[in-house]
Amino acid sequence: MNEAGRRGIIAAAYIVSNNVKRNLRGGYTSGEFVTGQSINAVTISDPFRLGPNWGIRVGTNLLYNLFWELGHMNIFTHRFERVEKWRPALFDSRDAAAAAYARVYIETMERGG
Amino acid sequence: MTTLSTDGLFTQLRTHVLSYIPLTGTTLMQRLGTGTLASSRLWKDAPPDTAAYPYGVMRLLNQLTSGEYNGERERIDFEIMLFARPRAQAVALEDMADLIDQAMLRYRDASSGLSFSRSRQRDTLPPPTSPADREVVQIRLVYPLVVWPRYLTQWSDPTPDPPALDYMLITLDGDGDIAITDDPNALPLGTVTIDPITGDPVVDL
């Protein structure tokens, strides 16, 4: 059951991660300066214990992703800028991520995991 | 205050955090403006382009409802982002965040509908990198709220608004009968409180 939960949460994280990457494809503003750096910086942690459950983090190691998501004073536009890509992706992924978790969990249990 | 609209809920929350009087120091209203609600630099969604520091931006995020409450109970994240510049203002900004944490601690407002918060998350962001201004200090505060807004609960409640009083005393009147009163001088036999989650009366003898 432990292994099934661990594998299930990894599958769910990939659904969220893919949705975030899809949202980041056009960049944060006009799309003219997209280098792929933001997309390549979407990271998935190792599963970790949350009491009896498993948790996993989908995040980034690129700091400016954080500042675009939460809002910042932009030195080029001289304005407050905030473009949310991650939170909507997580919200839109909830059902698909839960389904992926359930599918992998059941498959693993059926194999005796 | 009113929760007859989402904007009304915004106004209720903004007024609460700006007007809260701390044990020491000045109110947030005085720190973010000239001491009036209108002049306070706490804006909804985004600041104006010419905003002076320090200022705050407030948002309602992740509005969720669920079937077990017939769609009348909402779970909303109330986010306040505080900004100051230059970086030497970091301590003053942390003090403002402390003040907002105090204001939102055990926050409850039943004057119209019902909204309350029992937990919080606070993050001081690391010094920003390009394209953000690295001299700007930024603190993010999030308060998960439970809200029964009047614009939804009005369909279940025949009264226009719940009574402002949230407790009553059970007493014996002159004939020895049990009576319920809001007279604070009455000799109490027990109290009736309103359960903040279900809205049901709870009798405690």
- Band (pLDDT 50/70/90 cuts) for residue B90 is very high
Quick check: B51 and A80 CB within 8 A? yes
Interface list for B 45-84 with A (CB within 8 A): 46-47, 49, 51, 57, 61-62, 81, 83
Query: What value of ipTM does the predicted structure carry?
Result: 0.79
Res A86 pLDDT > 90: yes
- Band (pLDDT 50/70/90 cuts) for residue B79 is very high
- Band (pLDDT 50/70/90 cuts) for residue B40 is very high
B47 closest CA partner among B58, B34, B62, B61: B58
Nearest CA in chain A to B80: A70
Quick check: B85 and A70 CB within 8 A? no
- The residues with which B60 forms a beta bridge, in sequence order, are B78
Res B93 pLDDT > 70: yes
Res B133 pLDDT > 80: yes
* Structure tokens belonging to residue B122: 């606070």
- The residues with which B114 forms a beta bridge, in sequence order, are B148
- Band (pLDDT 50/70/90 cuts) for residue B166 is low
Concatenate the DSSP letters of all residues of B140-163 into one string: EEEEEEEEE-HHHHTTT-SSSS--
Q: Are B147 and B73 in contact (CB under 8 A)?
A: yes
Q: Are A62 and A43 in contact (CB under 8 A)?
A: no
Q: Are B133 and B83 in contact (CB under 8 A)?
A: no
- Higher-confidence position of B183 and B91: B91
Res B162 pLDDT > 60: no
At A56 the pLDDT is 95
